[in-house]
Each structure stands twice: as C-alpha cells, then as structure tokens.
Amino acid sequence: MDATSITTAASSNNFPWLSLIVLLPSVGALIIPFLPQNQDENPYLFRNLAIGFLASDFIIILFVLSNFFDKQTSHLQLTERISWLPSIGLEWSLAVDGISAPLLALSGLITLLSATASWNIINKPKLYFALLLIQASAQSLVFLSQDFLLFFLAWELELVPVYLLIAIWGGKKRLYAATKFILYTALASLLILISGLALALSGSEFSLNLSELTARSPSGTFGLLCYLGFLIGFGVKLPIFPLHTWLPDAHGEANAPVSMLLAGILLKMGGYALIRFNVQMFPQIHIQLAPALIIIGIVNIIYGALNAFAQDNVKRRIACSSVSHMGFVLLGIGAINTLGINGAMLQMISHGLIAAAMFFITGSFYERTNTLSIPNMGGLAKALPITFALFLTSSLASLALPGMSGFVSEITIFLGITNQDIFTSTFRSISILIAAIGLVLTPIYLLSMCRRVFFGPRIPALAIVDEMNTRELFIALSLLVPTLFIGFWPRIATDLFETTTNALSNYLTSQSLMAITNSIL
C-alpha cells in the first residue's frame, strides 16, 4: 500500500450530501439576522431555529454515514470537487473516510446539545445562536476538507465564533481569556499556513489537494521543518504542553455550552489534523519522531494531572484533566501501529463525550449555586442527588473505569505501545510505567473534587436548590449513555474507523521496514 491508496477517493455520490452537511447550519445563521427581535413576545425564537437546523444537520450526518459510508474501505468516499478560485488553485473539495466520519458525527451531536444547553440565553440571543450555527459549519468543514487552503479557511473561521462566544458571554475575565485564546491559536495558524504552502510548492506543480500532497511524502530537512510546523500549529489546539495555557483560562471563563464545544470538538481538531497531516503526509519523519511524541504525551498526562490538583475552580480542574487525557492521544499517535492509532481515535471520541458531559453538568449546578469554587461548595449530594449521580458517573468514565469508553481507549493505547517492536523494551516499559502514574492521579483529583463538592458540611446558602429538569437530564444522558455503550461494545465506534486506521498503520509499518532496509544497505 502506498500513500495515495490511503487517500484516493473510492466513490462519488450524485447528491452533494457533504456540502449540505457543511452549509445547512450557515443557512440558518443567514436567516437569523432577518428575524424580528421582540424579547417580550418571542424571546427564544432564535434558539428554536438554531436547534432545528442543528438537529436536521445531525440527522443528515447519521443518515449519510448509515446509508452511503462504506466501513469496509479505507479510501475517501462521497467525494465532491468543484473549482472555486482557479487563479489560486482553491477547490471546494470534500470527502469523508474513517478518520473523519466518527469525528463528524461527534461534532454534530455535541453542537446540537450545546445549543440545547443554551436554553436560557437572553443576552444578544440573535448573535449567540448565529455564531453557534457558523461554528457548526466550520467544524464540519475542517473534518471534510480535502483542499489545504479550504481546510485552513475553515480552521480560521471556527476561531472567530469561539472568541466572540467567550468574550461576550463569558465570566469576569472573559476578555483576557478570549484574547489569550485567539493569540495562541492565530499564531499557531501562521505555522500551519507556512508549512502547508511550502508543501504545496515543493512538487513539480503547485497543488493544494491533500491527496496529492500526501503522495509527495517529503523527507529530509524540508520534511522535518514542515512536520514540526504542523506539530506546533496543531499542538496548540490539542493542546500539547507547554502550548496549553490558554485552555484553563478559556474553560474557566466560557459558559457551559461553549466549554462543551471546546472540550468536545475543538481539541479533537488538533488530534485529527495530526493524523491527517503529520502521520499521513510525513510517515518516515513521524516514525523517527514517534518516541519524542510519546515523551511529550507522557509529560501532558502527568503535568495535566498534577496541575489539576492545584485548581480550586471546578471547570479549571476539568480543563487540566483534558490536558492530561489528550496526552493519551499523543501516545496512541506515537505508537504508530493499529492498536495505538485505534486507541487515539477512540480516546478522542470518548473524551469528547465525557468532557462535554462534565462541563454541562458543572454548568447545571453553577446555574443553581452561582459558584464554581470548590471550597465554597459542600453537601450538594442531598440537595441535587440526580446531578451528583450524573457528575459521579462522568467522573468515573473520565478516570477510565472498566466498562466505560475511557477504559477501552486507554488500555488500547497502552497495548499499542507494548506491541511496537521498533521501540526498545526499556523505552516501552518506562513509558508505560510513567504514563500509568496518570491513571493513578486521575481518580484522586476527580473523586476528591466530588467529595468536596457533594459531601462534607452543607453550605446553608446551597441547602435548597432545584434539581435538574427533564431537558438537562436528556442532554446529560445523551452524552453519558454512548460512553457506556462504547465501553461494553467498542465496535459501535471502532467499526467506523478501523479499516482506515489499519491501512494507515500498515503503511507506516512498510515505511518503517523500508527505512530499516535502507539503513542496512
């Protein structure tokens, strides 16, 4: 198998389903500004419209993946290519494969639930829900783009709604958090653009098509510089230590629905892009740098876990937990075999569901207590028994309790490292041993948070608060039930991407054997 066989389109479809998925939310965003705004008579018109468009989009995603997506092929499918701006080589080029399909479905689900979680938004609702719809389109376009410039435009477009959603509807330090977020991600985007354009200019002909760029498979100093540019650029979004410091601030100031988007989707864009660009386009360099990625992943896991202990704000503690858990994605990508890459994909899906659930449930009791300070809470288990049960369930899922999706993904990643023969036995043993420390630290900081928030002395001001309503319970269960299904039957998720990741890992193995042979000769 060569590079092009991984990315060459296998089939096309007469109806532009992927374009519909991308553009439908934007249509809703264009309609909203023309609707009358009368807060007394119809305060939630914009919310209902946004939920309607996002629900329709999610249904279309499920319909397309169920009826037209072939799980048994590793190639790109449902390809759509239209020349958009021929003068600069820009194409409206969309396709889906096993790497993008599950993340597209995850994006559709969490964006819909985020809009539903924004039920009580009354400050500038027209702008708020228009931004959510634009964000939905940008996210889908990131996962479906097969033209580098189109991918980059989508990557940049999704930054704007998130910045505004934090800056306008965030907490007291929202402007600081939003500015920090946009500065980090914008500077990182510059490296992505430079690396992509350098790669596009490197061949005999200028090309922005990702399949053609993958076929070039550059190596040497040029390939290394492009690889590092992509690694840093995408690593900010993942996030990779020490490029992560924007994340706790953004989560700490964003409202719960925006935190759901940040944790559930935006971080996954970084992992997706690392697989799509770094692994597929630079296989030989990736193999050489795989041990370094594993080391960085271990640093993420341990540092994020230790940093979580220092946080007295519930959302900031969960945000540091996300830094730790995304370190496992780096471990899986660095394992460069089927088990490792499958584990990385499963970890992204699992963490997207679990983290979104934790931030939503946190937002639910914040609306009732008006505090996120752990020392200022206590005894909420009796006042909010359902909320406590759901938060505890999401915490158990996050600490990788057997029977839940987090356990399956993390154990798969560990097995991937164990079964990688190109690493020395010493490196494998030490890597697994140190990374396992994170598995020990995670239950400590999560369960201690549960104990301090829901047990102990009851704060008189919090003694009488309302329990979750039916809508909130539905949102929480929509995120937690899939983690249980995946935990007991992982093939629900792995069937979507396993064929593609197997082909990719086989290709990496062949590149590794080729490099060894060349070094011997």
Tens-digit pLDDT profile for residues 48-62: 999 999 999 999 999
- Cα separation values, 78 from 11, 92, 269, 467, 503, Å: 6, 13, 21, 45, 19
pLDDT score for 515? 57
331: exposed, middle or buried (Cβ count in 10 Å: 0-12, 13-18, 19+) = buried
DSSP alpha helix (H) spans, 238-379: 246-253, 256-261, 267-273, 280-281, 283-309, 314-335, 338-369
pLDDT tens digits along 164-211: 999 999 989 999 999 999 999 999 999 999 999 999 998 888 999 999
CA proximity to 391, closest of 325, 456, 318, 320: 318
Residues linked to residue 96 through DSSP beta bridges, in sequence order: 77
CA proximity to 399, closest of 361, 447, 346: 447
Contact 413, 332 (CB under 8 A): yes
pLDDT score for 8? 44
Per-residue pLDDT, averaged over 293-317, amounts to 94
Distance CA 407, CA 350 (A): 9
pLDDT score for 294? 96
Q: When comparing pLDDT for 218 and 182, which is higher?
A: 182
pLDDT score for 7? 42
Per-residue pLDDT, averaged over 156-166, amounts to 95
| pLDDT over 50 (residue 456) | yes
Lowest mean pLDDT among 106-120, 156-170, 357-371, 478-492: 357-371
Q: Is 96 helix (H, G, I), strand (E, B) or coil?
A: strand
Per-residue pLDDT, averaged over 105-134, amounts to 94
CA atoms within 13 A on the CB side of 301: 26
Distance CA 178, CA 217 (A): 37
pLDDT score for 510? 79
pLDDT band at 460 (very low <50, low <70, confident <90, very high): low
pLDDT score for 513? 58
Region of 370 on the Ramachandran plot (φ > 0 left; ψ -120 to 50 alpha; else beta): left
Distance CA 96, CA 131 (A): 25
For 342, other C-beta atoms within 10 Å of its C-beta total: 26
Average pLDDT, the chain: 90
Q: For 82, which DSSP code?
A: E
pTM, to two decimals:
0.94
- Cα-Cα-Cα-Cα torsion 383, 385, 389, 390, nearest 10 degrees, comes to -70
Contact 394, 478 (CB under 8 A): no
Per-residue pLDDT, averaged over 461-465, amounts to 67
pLDDT score for 521? 45
Sign of CA dihedral 209, 271, 410, 431: positive
pLDDT tens digits along 88-118: 888 999 999 999 999 999 999 999 999 999 9
Q: When comparing pLDDT for 199 and 509, which is higher?
A: 199
Residues linked to residue 90 through DSSP beta bridges, in sequence order: 85
| pLDDT over 60 (residue 3) | no
pLDDT score for 369? 85
DSSP alpha helix (H) spans, 119-219: 125-144, 148-157, 159-169, 174-200, 210-216
| pLDDT over 90 (residue 467) | no
Q: Is 77 helix (H, G, I), strand (E, B) or coil?
A: strand
pLDDT score for 33? 87
Q: What is the CA radius of gyration of the chain?
A: 22
Give percent above pLDDT 90 in the chain.
75
| pLDDT over 70 (residue 466) | yes
| pLDDT over 50 (residue 269) | yes
Residue 397's identity, in one-letter code, is: A
pLDDT score for 455? 87
- Cα-Cα-Cα-Cα torsion 94, 53, 472, 395, nearest 10 degrees, comes to 0
pLDDT score for 463? 60
| pLDDT over 80 (residue 440) | yes
pLDDT tens digits along 10-30: 444 579 999 999 999 999 999
